[in-house]
Amino acid sequence: MDNILEERFLAHKEEDETTTTTNDLKRRLWNESKILWRISFPSILSRVTSFGMIVVTQSFIGHISEVQLATYALIQSILVRFIYGILIGMSSATETLCGQAFGAGHHHMMGVYLQRSWIVDGITATMLVPFFIFATPIFRILGQEEELAAAAGSISIWFIPMIYNFVLSMPISMFLQAQLKNLIVGWLSTAAFVFHVLLSWIFVNKFEWGVTGAMAAMNISGWAMVMGQLVYVIGGIATGAGLQSMVAYVNLGSYYAIGIPIGILLGYVANLQVKGLWIGLLSGVAVQSLILAFLVWKTDWDEQVRKASERLNRWLVPEEDNQSPVHA
Protein backbone atom coordinates (compact mmCIF):
# COMPACT_ATOMS: atom_id res chain seq x y z
CA MET A 1 0.00 0.00 0.00
CA ASP A 2 2.80 2.37 0.90
CA ASN A 3 4.54 1.60 -2.39
CA ILE A 4 1.39 2.49 -4.36
CA LEU A 5 1.03 5.85 -2.55
CA GLU A 6 4.71 6.60 -3.11
CA GLU A 7 4.36 5.88 -6.87
CA ARG A 8 1.34 8.21 -7.05
CA PHE A 9 3.21 11.01 -5.30
CA LEU A 10 6.16 10.60 -7.67
CA ALA A 11 3.81 10.65 -10.68
CA HIS A 12 2.18 13.90 -9.47
CA LYS A 13 5.62 15.41 -8.94
CA GLU A 14 6.69 14.54 -12.49
CA GLU A 15 3.45 16.01 -13.89
CA ASP A 16 4.02 19.24 -11.95
CA GLU A 17 7.58 19.50 -13.25
CA THR A 18 6.38 18.89 -16.84
CA THR A 19 3.66 21.55 -16.48
CA THR A 20 6.14 24.04 -15.04
CA THR A 21 8.59 23.39 -17.87
CA THR A 22 5.83 23.82 -20.48
CA ASN A 23 4.62 27.08 -18.95
CA ASP A 24 8.18 28.35 -18.74
CA LEU A 25 8.76 27.49 -22.41
CA LYS A 26 5.54 29.26 -23.44
CA ARG A 27 6.51 32.35 -21.46
CA ARG A 28 9.98 32.42 -22.99
CA LEU A 29 8.56 31.98 -26.50
CA TRP A 30 6.09 34.80 -25.90
CA ASN A 31 8.78 37.14 -24.58
CA GLU A 32 11.14 36.33 -27.45
CA SER A 33 8.33 36.82 -29.98
CA LYS A 34 7.53 40.25 -28.56
CA ILE A 35 11.18 41.28 -28.79
CA LEU A 36 11.49 39.98 -32.36
CA TRP A 37 8.31 41.72 -33.52
CA ARG A 38 9.31 44.94 -31.80
CA ILE A 39 12.50 44.95 -33.86
CA SER A 40 11.32 43.38 -37.12
CA PHE A 41 7.83 44.88 -37.56
CA PRO A 42 9.06 48.45 -38.31
CA SER A 43 11.54 47.02 -40.83
CA ILE A 44 8.79 44.95 -42.46
CA LEU A 45 6.54 48.02 -42.52
CA SER A 46 9.30 50.08 -44.12
CA ARG A 47 9.94 47.53 -46.88
CA VAL A 48 6.22 47.01 -47.58
CA THR A 49 5.41 50.72 -47.78
CA SER A 50 8.49 51.47 -49.91
CA PHE A 51 7.49 48.78 -52.40
CA GLY A 52 3.87 49.89 -52.03
CA MET A 53 4.73 53.35 -53.38
CA ILE A 54 5.96 51.73 -56.60
CA VAL A 55 2.83 49.57 -56.81
CA VAL A 56 0.51 52.55 -56.20
CA THR A 57 2.24 54.50 -58.97
CA GLN A 58 1.86 51.51 -61.28
CA SER A 59 -1.86 51.25 -60.48
CA PHE A 60 -2.45 54.94 -61.27
CA ILE A 61 -0.49 54.65 -64.54
CA GLY A 62 -2.62 51.62 -65.40
CA HIS A 63 -5.66 53.90 -65.60
CA ILE A 64 -3.90 56.13 -68.14
CA SER A 65 -2.62 53.86 -70.91
CA GLU A 66 -1.79 50.21 -71.45
CA VAL A 67 1.44 51.09 -73.23
CA GLN A 68 2.56 53.37 -70.39
CA LEU A 69 1.67 50.67 -67.85
CA ALA A 70 3.67 48.02 -69.71
CA THR A 71 6.63 50.39 -70.09
CA TYR A 72 6.60 51.33 -66.39
CA ALA A 73 6.40 47.67 -65.34
CA LEU A 74 9.26 46.83 -67.70
CA ILE A 75 11.55 49.56 -66.32
CA GLN A 76 10.65 48.78 -62.73
CA SER A 77 11.15 45.02 -63.04
CA ILE A 78 14.44 45.16 -64.99
CA LEU A 79 16.33 48.40 -64.37
CA VAL A 80 15.04 49.55 -60.97
CA ARG A 81 15.25 46.13 -59.33
CA PHE A 82 18.75 45.58 -60.71
CA ILE A 83 20.05 48.92 -59.41
CA TYR A 84 18.09 48.63 -56.14
CA GLY A 85 19.74 45.29 -55.44
CA ILE A 86 23.20 46.79 -55.93
CA LEU A 87 22.52 49.79 -53.69
CA ILE A 88 20.86 47.81 -50.88
CA GLY A 89 23.76 45.36 -50.92
CA MET A 90 26.25 48.18 -50.51
CA SER A 91 24.10 49.90 -47.87
CA SER A 92 24.05 46.69 -45.83
CA ALA A 93 27.70 47.38 -45.04
CA THR A 94 26.53 50.54 -43.25
CA GLU A 95 24.28 48.48 -40.98
CA THR A 96 27.15 46.10 -40.14
CA LEU A 97 29.71 48.84 -39.47
CA CYS A 98 27.28 51.07 -37.54
CA GLY A 99 26.07 48.10 -35.50
CA GLN A 100 29.63 47.20 -34.54
CA ALA A 101 30.45 50.82 -33.68
CA PHE A 102 27.28 51.20 -31.60
CA GLY A 103 27.90 47.96 -29.72
CA ALA A 104 31.54 48.83 -29.05
CA GLY A 105 30.63 52.30 -27.81
CA HIS A 106 32.42 54.08 -30.69
CA HIS A 107 29.43 56.31 -31.41
CA HIS A 108 31.49 58.98 -33.16
CA MET A 109 32.37 56.49 -35.92
CA MET A 110 28.71 55.93 -36.84
CA GLY A 111 28.46 59.35 -38.47
CA VAL A 112 31.71 58.71 -40.32
CA TYR A 113 30.40 55.41 -41.69
CA LEU A 114 27.13 57.09 -42.73
CA GLN A 115 28.96 59.81 -44.66
CA ARG A 116 31.25 57.30 -46.35
CA SER A 117 28.25 55.20 -47.34
CA TRP A 118 26.60 58.24 -48.93
CA ILE A 119 29.73 58.96 -50.95
CA VAL A 120 30.23 55.37 -52.13
CA ASP A 121 26.54 54.83 -52.92
CA GLY A 122 26.35 58.20 -54.68
CA ILE A 123 29.29 57.35 -56.93
CA THR A 124 27.78 53.94 -57.67
CA ALA A 125 24.37 55.44 -58.49
CA THR A 126 25.97 58.01 -60.80
CA MET A 127 27.73 55.21 -62.67
CA LEU A 128 24.37 53.45 -63.12
CA VAL A 129 22.42 56.53 -64.31
CA PRO A 130 23.23 55.84 -68.03
CA PHE A 131 20.95 52.78 -67.81
CA PHE A 132 18.01 55.18 -67.45
CA ILE A 133 19.28 57.78 -69.91
CA PHE A 134 19.75 55.17 -72.66
CA ALA A 135 16.75 53.01 -71.74
CA THR A 136 15.30 53.16 -75.26
CA PRO A 137 18.35 51.66 -77.07
CA ILE A 138 18.84 49.16 -74.23
CA PHE A 139 15.30 47.79 -74.61
CA ARG A 140 15.69 47.73 -78.38
CA ILE A 141 18.79 45.58 -77.98
CA LEU A 142 16.84 43.30 -75.62
CA GLY A 143 14.25 42.81 -78.38
CA GLN A 144 11.32 44.74 -76.93
CA GLU A 145 8.63 46.21 -79.17
CA GLU A 146 9.40 49.59 -80.70
CA GLU A 147 6.41 51.25 -79.04
CA LEU A 148 7.52 50.12 -75.57
CA ALA A 149 11.16 51.00 -76.19
CA ALA A 150 10.24 54.50 -77.39
CA ALA A 151 7.99 55.14 -74.37
CA ALA A 152 10.70 53.91 -71.99
CA GLY A 153 12.92 56.87 -72.83
CA SER A 154 10.54 59.44 -71.29
CA ILE A 155 9.46 57.37 -68.26
CA SER A 156 12.91 56.11 -67.26
CA ILE A 157 14.21 59.66 -66.74
CA TRP A 158 11.76 60.05 -63.84
CA PHE A 159 13.50 57.20 -62.01
CA ILE A 160 16.82 59.07 -61.74
CA PRO A 161 15.71 61.19 -58.72
CA MET A 162 14.38 57.99 -57.17
CA ILE A 163 17.81 56.34 -57.45
CA TYR A 164 19.47 59.21 -55.59
CA ASN A 165 16.65 58.97 -53.07
CA PHE A 166 17.84 55.39 -52.42
CA VAL A 167 21.41 56.69 -52.00
CA LEU A 168 20.37 58.78 -48.98
CA SER A 169 17.44 56.85 -47.51
CA MET A 170 19.01 53.36 -47.39
CA PRO A 171 22.14 54.29 -45.39
CA ILE A 172 20.07 56.47 -43.03
CA SER A 173 17.65 53.59 -42.43
CA MET A 174 20.57 51.25 -41.69
CA PHE A 175 22.12 53.95 -39.47
CA LEU A 176 18.93 54.25 -37.39
CA GLN A 177 18.27 50.50 -37.27
CA ALA A 178 21.77 49.91 -35.90
CA GLN A 179 20.74 52.07 -32.92
CA LEU A 180 17.47 50.11 -32.46
CA LYS A 181 15.45 53.09 -33.74
CA ASN A 182 13.46 50.97 -36.17
CA LEU A 183 10.19 52.57 -35.14
CA ILE A 184 11.27 55.94 -36.57
CA VAL A 185 11.97 54.34 -39.96
CA GLY A 186 8.62 52.52 -39.91
CA TRP A 187 6.56 55.61 -39.06
CA LEU A 188 8.32 57.79 -41.64
CA SER A 189 7.81 55.15 -44.36
CA THR A 190 4.13 54.79 -43.48
CA ALA A 191 3.59 58.56 -43.50
CA ALA A 192 5.35 58.82 -46.88
CA PHE A 193 3.16 56.03 -48.28
CA VAL A 194 -0.08 57.71 -47.17
CA PHE A 195 1.19 61.03 -48.52
CA HIS A 196 2.06 59.33 -51.82
CA VAL A 197 -1.42 57.85 -52.25
CA LEU A 198 -3.04 61.25 -51.60
CA LEU A 199 -0.62 63.10 -53.87
CA SER A 200 -1.04 60.56 -56.70
CA TRP A 201 -4.82 60.91 -56.52
CA ILE A 202 -4.56 64.71 -56.67
CA PHE A 203 -2.03 64.83 -59.52
CA VAL A 204 -3.52 62.06 -61.68
CA ASN A 205 -7.27 62.20 -61.03
CA LYS A 206 -7.84 65.84 -60.13
CA PHE A 207 -5.18 67.72 -62.11
CA GLU A 208 -5.12 65.08 -64.91
CA TRP A 209 -1.35 65.31 -65.34
CA GLY A 210 -1.10 61.69 -66.46
CA VAL A 211 2.20 59.84 -66.23
CA THR A 212 4.02 63.05 -65.31
CA GLY A 213 1.79 63.50 -62.26
CA ALA A 214 2.17 59.88 -61.14
CA MET A 215 5.95 59.93 -61.41
CA ALA A 216 6.20 63.38 -59.81
CA ALA A 217 4.10 62.17 -56.86
CA MET A 218 6.41 59.18 -56.38
CA ASN A 219 9.54 61.35 -56.36
CA ILE A 220 8.06 64.02 -54.07
CA SER A 221 6.87 61.39 -51.57
CA GLY A 222 10.21 59.59 -51.59
CA TRP A 223 12.20 62.77 -51.03
CA ALA A 224 9.78 63.88 -48.31
CA MET A 225 10.69 60.71 -46.39
CA VAL A 226 14.41 61.41 -46.91
CA MET A 227 13.97 64.95 -45.60
CA GLY A 228 12.17 63.56 -42.55
CA GLN A 229 15.04 61.16 -41.87
CA LEU A 230 17.64 63.91 -42.28
CA VAL A 231 15.72 66.26 -39.97
CA TYR A 232 15.48 63.52 -37.34
CA VAL A 233 19.20 62.67 -37.49
CA ILE A 234 20.53 66.24 -37.70
CA GLY A 235 17.95 67.63 -35.25
CA GLY A 236 18.87 64.96 -32.72
CA ILE A 237 22.55 65.89 -33.00
CA ALA A 238 21.83 69.59 -32.49
CA THR A 239 19.53 68.90 -29.54
CA GLY A 240 22.10 66.59 -27.95
CA ALA A 241 24.67 69.37 -28.19
CA GLY A 242 22.45 71.63 -26.06
CA LEU A 243 21.11 73.71 -28.97
CA GLN A 244 17.43 73.17 -28.16
CA SER A 245 16.56 76.87 -28.35
CA MET A 246 18.39 77.28 -31.64
CA VAL A 247 16.64 74.22 -33.11
CA ALA A 248 13.26 75.61 -32.05
CA TYR A 249 13.99 78.95 -33.75
CA VAL A 250 15.17 77.15 -36.89
CA ASN A 251 12.00 75.02 -37.01
CA LEU A 252 9.68 78.00 -36.53
CA GLY A 253 11.57 80.20 -38.99
CA SER A 254 11.82 77.52 -41.68
CA TYR A 255 8.11 76.75 -41.70
CA TYR A 256 6.40 80.02 -40.76
CA ALA A 257 8.85 82.53 -42.28
CA ILE A 258 9.88 80.60 -45.40
CA GLY A 259 7.80 77.50 -46.14
CA ILE A 260 4.26 78.81 -45.62
CA PRO A 261 4.78 82.21 -47.38
CA ILE A 262 6.35 80.47 -50.41
CA GLY A 263 3.48 77.98 -50.48
CA ILE A 264 0.87 80.76 -50.36
CA LEU A 265 2.59 82.72 -53.14
CA LEU A 266 2.96 79.69 -55.40
CA GLY A 267 -0.48 78.31 -54.59
CA TYR A 268 -2.65 81.43 -54.82
CA VAL A 269 -0.57 84.04 -56.68
CA ALA A 270 1.14 81.75 -59.21
CA ASN A 271 -2.04 79.60 -59.43
CA LEU A 272 -0.18 76.34 -58.78
CA GLN A 273 -2.81 75.45 -56.15
CA VAL A 274 -1.99 72.32 -54.13
CA LYS A 275 1.29 71.80 -55.96
CA GLY A 276 2.43 75.28 -54.91
CA LEU A 277 1.53 74.63 -51.27
CA TRP A 278 3.51 71.38 -51.21
CA ILE A 279 6.49 73.04 -52.90
CA GLY A 280 6.43 75.69 -50.18
CA LEU A 281 6.33 73.13 -47.37
CA LEU A 282 9.14 71.10 -48.94
CA SER A 283 11.15 74.32 -49.32
CA GLY A 284 10.76 74.89 -45.58
CA VAL A 285 11.99 71.37 -44.84
CA ALA A 286 14.96 71.84 -47.19
CA VAL A 287 15.93 75.15 -45.53
CA GLN A 288 15.59 73.55 -42.10
CA SER A 289 17.85 70.65 -43.10
CA LEU A 290 20.48 72.99 -44.57
CA ILE A 291 20.57 75.22 -41.47
CA LEU A 292 20.80 72.26 -39.08
CA ALA A 293 23.53 70.70 -41.24
CA PHE A 294 25.45 74.01 -41.09
CA LEU A 295 25.09 74.10 -37.28
CA VAL A 296 26.39 70.54 -37.00
CA TRP A 297 29.31 71.35 -39.32
CA LYS A 298 30.30 74.49 -37.38
CA THR A 299 30.02 72.87 -33.95
CA ASP A 300 33.32 72.27 -32.15
CA TRP A 301 32.82 68.64 -31.16
CA ASP A 302 36.05 68.46 -29.17
CA GLU A 303 34.68 71.27 -27.01
CA GLN A 304 31.36 69.41 -26.66
CA VAL A 305 33.22 66.29 -25.50
CA ARG A 306 35.16 68.34 -22.96
CA LYS A 307 31.95 69.88 -21.57
CA ALA A 308 30.28 66.47 -21.38
CA SER A 309 33.29 65.06 -19.51
CA GLU A 310 33.20 67.95 -17.03
CA ARG A 311 29.50 67.36 -16.35
CA LEU A 312 30.05 63.64 -15.84
CA ASN A 313 32.96 64.27 -13.48
CA ARG A 314 30.90 66.79 -11.54
CA TRP A 315 28.10 64.26 -11.09
CA LEU A 316 30.11 61.07 -10.58
CA VAL A 317 33.07 62.18 -8.46
CA PRO A 318 31.00 63.28 -5.42
CA GLU A 319 29.02 60.04 -5.62
CA GLU A 320 32.22 57.98 -5.63
CA ASP A 321 33.53 59.98 -2.65
CA ASN A 322 30.35 59.25 -0.71
CA GLN A 323 30.60 55.54 -1.46
CA SER A 324 34.29 55.23 -0.46
CA PRO A 325 34.88 53.51 2.91
CA VAL A 326 35.76 55.66 5.90
CA HIS A 327 39.10 54.73 7.45
CA ALA A 328 39.52 55.04 11.18
pTM of the model: 0.69
Q: Which residue has the higher pLDDT, 126 or 51?
A: 126
pLDDT attached to residue 155: 92
% the chain with pLDDT above 70: 83
Backbone angles phi, psi at 14, to 5 degrees: -65, -40
Tell me: the pLDDT tens digits for 246-275?
A: 767 777 788 778 888 888 888 888 887 777
**Would you say residue 165 lies in a domain?**
yes
Tell me: the pLDDT tens digits for 112-123?
A: 888 888 888 899
Whole-angstrom distance, CA of residue 132 vs CA of residue 76: 11
**Would you say residue 292 lies in a domain?**
no
- Using only C-alpha atoms, the chain has a radius of gyration, in whole angstroms, of 28
Asked if the model's pLDDT at residue 98 lies above 90, the reply is no
Q: Which residue has the higher pLDDT, 207 or 132?
A: 132
pLDDT band for position 56 (cuts 50, 70, 90): very high
Structural domain boundaries enclosing 70: 41-210
pLDDT band for position 239 (cuts 50, 70, 90): low
**Would you say residue 314 lies in a domain?**
no
Asked if the model's pLDDT at residue 58 lies above 70, the reply is yes
Domain count, the chain: 1
What type of residue sits at position 256?
Answer: Y
pLDDT band for position 290 (cuts 50, 70, 90): confident
**Would you say residue 135 lies in a domain?**
yes
**Would you say residue 256 lies in a domain?**
no
Q: Are 117 and 88 in contact (CB under 8 A)?
A: no
Alpha carbon distances (Å) from 230 to 3, 106, 225, 300: 75, 21, 9, 20
% the chain with pLDDT above 90: 14
3-state secondary structure of 210: helix
